[in-house]
């Protein structure tokens, strides 16, 4: 029996490779919650989730004080049962970010175990749609960069074979946002995809005004224009513009996605495997989006999302933000702007123990 004998958690601070600034924050370090689950077969699954700099210790406490003690003795194959048991045990803090992030670290470790046991890579274990997925580049589009730097970055991304580039918006003056986008569009031509991201910084009225000013930049999507809990605002915006509205990175439950999709407020779904609570709920959101004929282009966490996007038929794009190169032995394989889903059993992340130990803070 693959019974769980031990479960441990650690907090690892991973430095960012590039300064990342958007309309509301700067991403200075990734707090990484690492969970290891061992079974009596002699297997150990490693899972993880993250924050972009705050709250990591709260997630660690949730894991150590409440969730991990429930694991020993459980059959590790019963992933749905374990997920639901842990979720229900934390009623007072659900639906919420801390619980979802903690659940994700456990759930991804269970999927790693599943893959190790069956000797299957995640992309096939989770569905097996296609072995590689297109990438778009976010690393050259941060808000603090000048127009010249944006243009230079977009052209470099194009040279490297990326199919799209994302630019942050939310400058004080609408004219600044517009001129930055038009300069990039002019440089890259009409065929390459250009996305924008406002990181929830706008009101509905302002987003409608900005979307109108952006229309002739031929945008592929307008990401997180409003606070994530403003579903009706997103619905009004989606009604008013031809630009697809992309949401999902700040949502922590399947039901939130249902509300957005049901109201026509999401043209692209960006479900994040850490924030939704792991691979188990991620796949449910992806399949729900498929039922609404909506594409999935997950947020961040490229190293896991390549396999998940490759697993489902409506997975369209993965966001290129390398983050684990400092703590892994192998890099994600990229060919002509496409990421190749790892073919090794489990999550396919080859952690470097020494480098993780060096960065472990709790
Ligand atoms: Mg975003």
Written as one string, the DSSP assignment of 91-150 is: GGG-SSHHHHHHHHHHHHHHHHHHHHHHT-BHHHHTT---SEEEEEE-TT--TTS-HHHH
Q: Sketch the domain layout of the chain as residue ranges.
A: 4-119+353-359, 124-340
User: Is 350's pLDDT higher than 90?
Assistant: yes
Chain segment 121-139, per-residue pLDDT in tens: 999 999 999 999 999 999 8
Q: Ligand 1: distance of its center to the CA of 95 in Å?
A: 21
Per-residue confidence (pLDDT) for residue 26, from 0 to 100: 82
- Give the model's confidence band at 222: pLDDT under 50 very low, under 70 low, under 90 confident, else very high: very high
Residues within 5 A (CB) of ion ligand 1: 197
The active-site residue out of 166, 234, 299, 305 is 299
Q: Ligand 1: distance of its center to the CA of 201 in Å?
A: 11
State which fold the 4-119+353-359 domain adopts. Answer: Enolase-like; domain 1 (3.30.390)
What is the distance between the alpha carbons of residues 288 and 254, in angstroms, rounded to a whole number? 9
Q: Ligand 1: distance of its center to the CA of 264 in Å?
A: 19
Chain segment 274-298, per-residue pLDDT in tens: 999 999 999 999 999 999 999 999 9
299 is catalytic: yes
- Give the model's confidence band at 104: pLDDT under 50 very low, under 70 low, under 90 confident, else very high: very high
Residue owning tokens 């479900």: 271
User: Is 20's pLDDT higher than 90?
Assistant: no
Per-residue confidence (pLDDT) for residue 291, from 0 to 100: 98
What is the distance between the alpha carbons of residues 98 and 131, in angstroms, rounded to a whole number? 32
66 is catalytic: no
Residue 36 backbone dihedrals phi, psi, to 5 degrees? -120, 130
Mean pLDDT of 300-311: 97
Q: Ligand 1: distance of its center to the CA of 344 in Å?
A: 29
What is the distance between the alpha carbons of residues 94 and 88, in angstroms, rounded to a whole number? 8
Cβ-contact 85, 71 below 8 angstroms: no
Alpha helices in 198-240 (DSSP H): 204-214, 231-240
Strand runs labelled E in the chain: 4-21, 26-39, 44-51, 132-137, 164-168, 193-197, 221-223, 245-247, 268-269, 295-296, 318-320, 333-335, 338-340
Per-residue confidence (pLDDT) for residue 109, from 0 to 100: 98
C-alpha distances in Å from residue 233, one per residue of 15, 116, 225, 268:
35, 44, 9, 16
User: Is 1's pLDDT higher than 80?
Assistant: no
What is the distance between the alpha carbons of residues 154 and 351, in angstroms, rounded to a whole number? 31
Q: Mean pLDDT, the chain, as a whole number?
A: 96
The percent of residues above 70 in pLDDT, for the chain, comes to 100
Mean pLDDT of 189-213: 97
Q: Ligand 1: distance of its center to the CA of 180 in Å?
A: 18
Q: Ligand 1: distance of its center to the CA of 51 in Å?
A: 14
Chain segment 315-335, per-residue pLDDT in tens: 999 999 988 999 999 999 999
Cβ-contact 87, 106 below 8 angstroms: no
Per-residue confidence (pLDDT) for residue 23, from 0 to 100: 83
Q: Ligand 1: distance of its center to the CA of 275 in Å?
A: 13
User: Is 230's pLDDT higher than 90?
Assistant: yes
The active-site residue out of 166, 168, 234, 305 is 168
Q: Ligand 1: distance of its center to the CA of 358 in Å?
A: 30
Per-residue confidence (pLDDT) for residue 116, from 0 to 100: 98
- Omega of the bond leading into 360 within 30 degrees of 0 (cis): no
Per-residue confidence (pLDDT) for residue 18, from 0 to 100: 80
Q: Ligand 1: distance of its center to the CA of 223 in Å?
A: 6
Q: Which CATH architecture has domain 124-340?
A: Alpha-Beta Barrel (3.20)
């Amino acid at each position: 029996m693959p019974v769980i004998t031990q479960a441990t958690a650690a907090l690892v601070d991973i430095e960012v490779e590039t300064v990342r600034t958007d309309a509301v924050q700067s991403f200075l370090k990734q707090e990484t919650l690492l969970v290891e689950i061992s079974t009596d077969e002699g297997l150990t699954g490693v899972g993880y989730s993250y924050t972009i700099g705050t709250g990591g210790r709260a997630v660690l406490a949730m894991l150590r004080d409440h969730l991990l003690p429930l694991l020993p003795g459980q059959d590790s194959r019963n992933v749905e049962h374990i997920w639901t048991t842990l979720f229900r045990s934390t009623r007072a803090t659900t639906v919420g970010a801390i619980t979802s992030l903690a659940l994700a670290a456990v759930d991804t470790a269970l999927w790693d175990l599943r893959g190790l046991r069956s000797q299957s890579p995640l992309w096939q274990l989770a569905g097996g749609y296609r072995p590689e997925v297109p990438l778009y580049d976010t690393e050259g589009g941060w808000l603090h960069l000048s127009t010249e730097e944006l243009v230079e970055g977009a052209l470099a991304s194009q040279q490297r074979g990326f199919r799209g580039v994302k630019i942050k918006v939310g400058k004080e003056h609408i004219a600044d946002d517009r001129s930055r986008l038009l300069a990039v569009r002019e440089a890259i031509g009409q065929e390459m995809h250009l996305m924008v991201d406002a990181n929830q910084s706008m009101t509905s009225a302002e987003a409608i005004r900005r979307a109108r000013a952006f229309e002739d930049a031929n945008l592929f999507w307008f990401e997180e224009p409003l606070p994530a809990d403003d579903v009706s605002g997103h619905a009004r915006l989606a009604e008013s513009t031809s630009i697809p509205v992309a949401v999902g990175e700040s949502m922590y439950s399947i039901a939130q996605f249902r509300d957005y999709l049901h109201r026509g407020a999401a043209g692209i779904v960006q479900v994040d495997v850490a924030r939704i609570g792991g691979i188990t709920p991620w796949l449910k959101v992806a399949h729900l989006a498929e039922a609404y004929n909506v594409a999935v282009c997950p947020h961040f966490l490229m190293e896991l999302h390549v396999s998940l996007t490759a697993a489902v038929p409506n997975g369209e794009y993965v966001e290129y933000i390398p983050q684990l190169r400092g703590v892994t032995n192998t890099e994600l394989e990229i060919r002509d702007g496409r990421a190749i889903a790892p073919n090794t059993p489990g999550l396919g992340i080859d952690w470097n123990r020494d480098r993780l130990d060096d960065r472990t803070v709790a």
